Amino acid sequence: MTENIDSNNIIPLIQPCEHQDTDVLATFPTDNKTVQQRRCTHPQTEISDTNRTLQCLTCGCYLDPFDYILSKSRLGLSVVGEINELYAKRSKLRESVANIEREEKNAKARLRSAKSAILFTENDLKNITTNTNP
């Protein structure tokens, strides 16, 4: 029952050494941001002219100046967009108020007209009743 095994058809299984796995990542991150630095919105910053750095005074984190300027410009664009939306909303509300005021004037005019018609009708009714009763 022995089979003739050809050693040329066998592929050896090579296990990687453990030290080879750690060599794959040659750079390691250090000095990670704290939880406060990750959550900070950086409201107050300090610009160093000599070191050419931008540092948050709240959390002490050093910021990338380009990212900081970009975030502020995006915030500015969103504020400008919101202002434009509010101007458009104000215009629509003014038009709506003008329409309501016009409808109110028309309703008051119709009310005065109806009151005058009632007075004329009552006067005519009085005249008819007084003329028919001797």
Q: In sequence order, what DSSP letters do the residues of 1-44 get, joined into one string? A: ------GGGPPPP-PPPHHHHHHS------SPPPHHHHH----S
pLDDT at 104: 96
Q: Residues 86, 79: contact at Cβ < 8 Å?
A: no
pLDDT at 65: 86
Q: Domains of the chain: which residue ranges?
A: 39-132
Residue 63 DSSP class: E
Tens-place pLDDT, residues 88-113: 999 999 999 999 999 999 999 999 99
